[in-house]
Amino acid sequence: MAVIGSSMGLPSVSDIFASNVLRLVLALLAASGLAGLLLDFARMLRLHRKMPPGPMPWPIIGNTHLLPKVKPWYYFEQLSKQFDSPVITFWIGRNPTVWINDAQSASELLEKKAAVYSSRPRMVVFAELTGMQQSSDPNAKVPGTNLVTMFYGERWRVHRKLTHQGVGLQQVRRYRGFQNDESKVIAYDILRSPEQYVAHYERYAASVVSIIGFNRRVSSIEDPIITEVIAVMQKAAELKVPGKEFPMLFETFPWMARLSPSLFPWIFKGLGRRRRGQEFFYTLAEEAHTKDPDQSCYVNDLFKEQPKYNLRKQEISSLAGNLFGAGSDTSSSTLITFTLACCAFPEVLPKVWEELDRVVGPHRSPSWEDEPELVYTKAFVKEVFRWRSVAIIGGQPHAPVSDDEWNGYIIPKGTWTQGNVWSIHHNEKDFPDPDRFNPDRYMKDSPESRPFPNEKGYMTFGWGRRVCSGQGLAEQGTFITVARMLWAFNIQKALDEQGNEVPVDIFSYTDGLNWRPQPFKCRFTVRSPEIRAAIEREGRQALQDLSEYDGESEAMDRFFKHNKQEA
């Protein structure tokens, strides 16, 4: 019958059997997939009940669909108010993330429990796709190449030690001389070309860390190292902001990160800039070491330590590059914010001028020796750090090395845990009228002063064992530069053709994690003829003193020429 049926075009018994088996297999696979999906969603719901409050997750996608296109820190601040909890849970795909939205909770979790929250979570986009985390397993034999993303452990301690040798609190005082001179050059440059103030800030910040790292200053605003460093750091900042578009969607669907870049080049666009940055920093490090291995600079110290710690090329590159991350883009962005604050809140300037005129006078600029007496100036600098903190969501996320408990809730081991600095610094309880720039908040006897969990009064540089390595360098440089700029200039809104002031927007900022004001014009008016003479005299002397660090980089020229040809 089977043969007859086959000859008449009817399905054979074997065909029917095979078809039924196929249907059964497909049904079993579908049932298995559905069961797996249900089990995974049950896991998500179980965690959702145990973790700090937040929106109900969906299967597979979690809460990713709720993310705004830009500036999610505003959204997490709103969620914190909506759920009446300073700590909330938000699901990125199948994984929960925890967001801390007030100073007290950040202190309790990230500072008082620093040993617990000392690691990093898995970061697919920023770390794995750029080669900085080579495994999603914190116990992997190769833990990564960069201190910033490295899981907590022995290799992290090596990198932290080497970083402290370059920019630790005990080291940065040695840099005050050339940092002060570069600050004098800012005032001198702005005196001559005030419309290029952003470029002058960027040159200053890049030059300071270039001297520390490579014993070579950046003397011109046209030096390509500035544009390359800013581009690399801004791209890195973009790759750390949660989002629902590619490439950040890889955090929701990590398996998609295995897709070939050649098949989907538009998805992987921009990651190449981050990888190119690793090559760029090693090129600078190798050249500086080859030119003069005995010269005192950070990269020579790294090459000396290379055999002891078995440092790979990528590790030397990341350690050198982190100097710029710690003190270049962030420092210049802080100074741009300072300038915006002066334009937007001119009423705060007379009080700081009175102090500077009384302590310093018009015939010289502020010095380190003046710092103890410049009480209000220091309060002004603190308010700059608070008002629009550059690392607006606190830099890199933390992750607990073991399950932790907060107010009866569970935060599982390895959970992406982020401090929302925007929300922390704009909490009405700690900072009334938070968008108003008001240095009086940091004057002890002022009625506007409020208690804060730490002595500094801000959380701009992170927390615990993962606090920004360049904090001391940034605070030191920002103080002397802000003090000098306030002493030298009246920084005001620009004027239009009719002589009317052009308004500035204190909310017009870029979208990356290390945000900065969108471009705006302003005026720099020298405060007196005596101050002008002092700026010119000190600027010329500073350039002479800094000349020992002048020099060209042949390796950098070759690097840019090679990459231009490839492009």
Binding-site residue positions for heme: 468
CA angle 367, 226, 544 (to 5 degrees): 45
Closest of 286, 514, 492 to residue 391, by C-alpha: 514
> What span, in angstroms and rounded, lies between the C-alpha atoms of 376 and 373?
9
Q: What are phi and psi of 97, to 5 degrees?
A: -120, 145
Residue pointed to by tokens 């001389």: 177
Phi, then psi, of 90 in degrees rounded to 5: -135, 130
Q: Residue positions in the annotated binding site?
A: 468
Q: Could you give the 3-state DSSP secondary structure of residue 110?
A: helix
Closest by CA position to 116, among listed 463, 364, 435: 463
What lies within 8 Å, CB to CB, of 374 at 6+ separation is 355, 356, 359, 366, 483
Q: 212: which 2 tokens? A: 């520390």
Rounded Cα–Cα distance for residues 161 and 469 (Å): 10
DSSP string, 360-394: T-SSS---GGGGGG-HHHHHHHHHHHHHT-SBTT-
Radius of gyration over alpha carbons of the chain, in Å?
Answer: 27
Is 472 buried (19+), middle (13-18) or exposed (0-12) by CB count in 10 A?
buried
3-state helix, strand, coil in the chain (%, to 5): 55, 10, 35
Q: What is the C-alpha to C-alpha distance for residues 109 and 116, in angstroms, rounded to an integer?
A: 8
**CA 494, 495, 500: angle at the middle one, nearest 5?**
130
Burial of 483 (0-12, 13-18, 19+ CB in 10 A): buried
The CA distance from 216 to 554, in Å, is: 12
Is the preceding omega at residue 247 within 30 degrees of 0, hence cis?
yes
Query: Nearest 5°: CA angle at 146, between 315 and 231?
Result: 100
Q: Name the β-bridge partners of 522.
A: 493
